[in-house]
């Protein structure tokens, strides 16, 4: 990759201010782990995003999109290619009665506060999820029996052909912790949500209850990437991990949380290799003892 030539291309297109080279991705993940991205871009609108994709295609450079990095492990050598994080132009909201159109870069925590102030119900569960809306759609994020699929009216995304398309829920095929956009080369731009009118005090009470549950059950005071594995049918991943004796297991500065075994925490300067060791050790133990193959919920990005 000729960074001089590529940087000149960014300058030609007038978007050099949204581009950084060799940006440490540990600054953009909740685990605070990860090597540098060759190119890191924060486009502020669709026009800038289109220009970045054009450069990616012109020079045959792969790209990935991240949100708040809350369900992400970036490997120690970093990422070869372009990493895109949606900027301020993708954090807009437009309310029409109980329907809200929201940019994919919007924080779920912020969105939850805004809808609470408007007395709109349906996003109470999301106030516990520290990611962005785009990632929440891809992973059908949920909490306490509620999930994004319950409130989505449509999803607008950019295809690899740089076409903007909008799809209703049946076309997304929502399942437990996924939808069919997960393995497609698309970038979610905007989501339309159907909420309900509610009582502000009751909504706030539910949010506080959910926050309390999370504080009691999860290591919210530690650096983590949320749940590492999906729950297998009829089981809880955390219970299986505990039963195979992996709760509290450590490697370097990474450890399986003593509070919730489906969380791996960074106790300070942990490496991605440390975390991967624990993930693979858990998978091996659960498979050997219970015959169950755990499916990873955490996304892993970068050069091995």
Question: Collapsing DSSP states into helix, strand and coil, what is residue 271?
Answer: coil
CB atoms within 10 A of CB 25: 24
pLDDT at residue 252 in the model? 98
CA distance 264 to 254: 7
CA distance 223 to 24: 17
Chain position carrying tokens 């956009």:
181
Beta bridge partners of 36: 24
- Tens of pLDDT along the chain (304 residues) come to 789 999 999 999 999 999 999 999 999 999 999 999 999 999 999 999 999 999 999 999 999 999 999 999 999 999 999 999 999 999 999 999 999 999 999 999 999 999 999 999 999 999 888 899 999 999 999 998 899 999 999 999 999 889 999 999 999 999 999 999 988 889 999 999 999 999 999 999 999 999 999 999 999 999 999 999 999 999 999 999 999 999 999 999 999 999 999 999 999 999 999 999 999 999 999 999 999 999 999 999 998 7
Rg of the chain (C-alpha set): 20
What pTM does this model have? 0.94
Region of 236 (left: φ > 0; alpha: ψ -120 to 50; beta: rest) is: beta
124 and 209 share one domain: yes
In a 13 Å sphere around the CA of 281, the CA atoms on its Cβ side amount to 21
pLDDT at residue 128 in the model? 82
Question: Collapsing DSSP states into helix, strand and coil, what is residue 260?
Answer: coil
Q: Which of 171, 194, 177, 179 is nearest to 102 (CA)?
A: 194
Question: Collapsing DSSP states into helix, strand and coil, what is residue 189?
Answer: strand
Q: Spot the catalytic one: 177, 224, 257, 285.
A: 177
92: phi then psi, degrees, rounded to nearest 5 = -85, 155
Find out whether 193 and 153 touch, Cβ atoms under 8 Å.
yes
Q: Does residue 9 carry a catalytic annotation?
A: no
Q: Which CATH number characterizes residue 58's domain?
A: 3.30.43.10
107 and 211 share one domain: yes
Find out whether 298 and 73 touch, Cβ atoms under 8 Å.
yes
239 and 253 share one domain: yes
21 and 77 share one domain: yes
Q: Which CATH number characterizes residue 96's domain?
A: 3.30.465.10
Question: Collapsing DSSP states into helix, strand and coil, what is residue 165?
Answer: strand
231 and 193 share one domain: no
CA distance 199 to 182: 35
212 and 233 share one domain: no
Q: Does residue 242 carry a catalytic annotation?
A: no
C-alpha 116, offset from chain centre: 23
Query: In the chain, how many domains are there?
Result: 3
Beta bridge partners of 164: 158
The last residue of one of the domains, among 164, 199, 216, is 216
Q: Does residue 227 carry a catalytic annotation?
A: yes
Q: Which domain holds residue 31?
A: 3-85
132 and 212 share one domain: yes
Find out whether 36 and 78 touch, Cβ atoms under 8 Å.
yes
The last residue of one of the domains, among 85, 112, 147, is 85
107 and 188 share one domain: yes
193 and 96 share one domain: yes
Q: Which of 189, 257, 190, 250 is nearest to 221 (CA)?
A: 257
The last residue of one of the domains, among 198, 216, 234, is 216
Note every long-range contact of 9-13, with CB atoms under 8 Å and residues 24 or more positions apart, other chains counting.
9/55, 9/58, 9/59, 10/55, 13/51, 13/54, 13/55
CA distance 151 to 121: 10
Question: Collapsing DSSP states into helix, strand and coil, what is residue 144?
Answer: coil
172 and 233 share one domain: no
Give the pair of three-digit tokens for residue 271.
Answer: 């490496």
Q: Which CATH number characterizes residue 270's domain?
A: 3.90.78.10
Give the pair of three-digit tokens for residue 73.
Answer: 């492990």
79 and 98 share one domain: no
Give the pair of three-digit tokens for residue 289.
Answer: 């003892």
pLDDT at residue 84 in the model? 98
CB atoms within 10 A of CB 209: 12
Q: Spot the catalytic one: 227, 257, 283, 285.
A: 227
205 and 98 share one domain: yes
CA distance 101 to 31: 30
């Amino acid at each position: 990759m000729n960074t001089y030539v590529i940087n000149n291309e960014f300058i030609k297109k007038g978007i050099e201010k949204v581009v950084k080279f060799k940006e440490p991705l540990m600054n953009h993940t909740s685990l605070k782990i990860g090597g540098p991205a060759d190119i890191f871009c924060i486009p502020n609108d669709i026009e800038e995003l289109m220009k970045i994709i054009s450069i990616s295609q012109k020079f045959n450079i792969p790209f990935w999109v991240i949100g708040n990095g809350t369900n992400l492990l970036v490997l120690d050598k970093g990422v070869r290619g372009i990493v895109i994080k949606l900027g301020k132009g993708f954090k807009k909201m437009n309310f029409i009665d109980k329907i809200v159109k929201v940019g994919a870069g919007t924080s779920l925590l912020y969105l939850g506060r805004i809808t609470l102030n408007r007395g709109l119900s349906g996003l109470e569960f999301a106030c516990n999820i520290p990611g962005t809306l785009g990632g929440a759609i891809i992973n059908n994020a949920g909490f306490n029996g509620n999930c994004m699929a319950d409130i989505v009216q449509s999803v607008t995304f950019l295809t690899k052909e740089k076409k903007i398309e909008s799809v209703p829920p049946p076309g997304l095929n929502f399942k437990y912790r996924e939808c069919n956009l997960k393995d497609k080369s698309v970038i979610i731009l905007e989501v339309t949500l159907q909420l309900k009118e509610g009582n502000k005090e009751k909504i706030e009470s539910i949010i506080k209850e959910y926050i309390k549950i999370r504080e009691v059950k999860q290591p919210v005071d530690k650096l983590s990437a949320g749940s590492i594995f999906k729950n297998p049918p009829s089981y809880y991943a955390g219970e299986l991990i505990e039963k195979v004796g992996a709760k509290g297991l450590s490697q370097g500065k990474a450890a399986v949380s003593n509070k919730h075994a489906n969380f791996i925490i960074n106790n300070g300067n942990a490496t991605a290799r440390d975390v991967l060791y624990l993930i693979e050790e858990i998978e091996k133990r659960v498979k050997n003892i219970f015959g169950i193959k755990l499916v990873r919920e955490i996304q892993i990005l970068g050069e091995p």
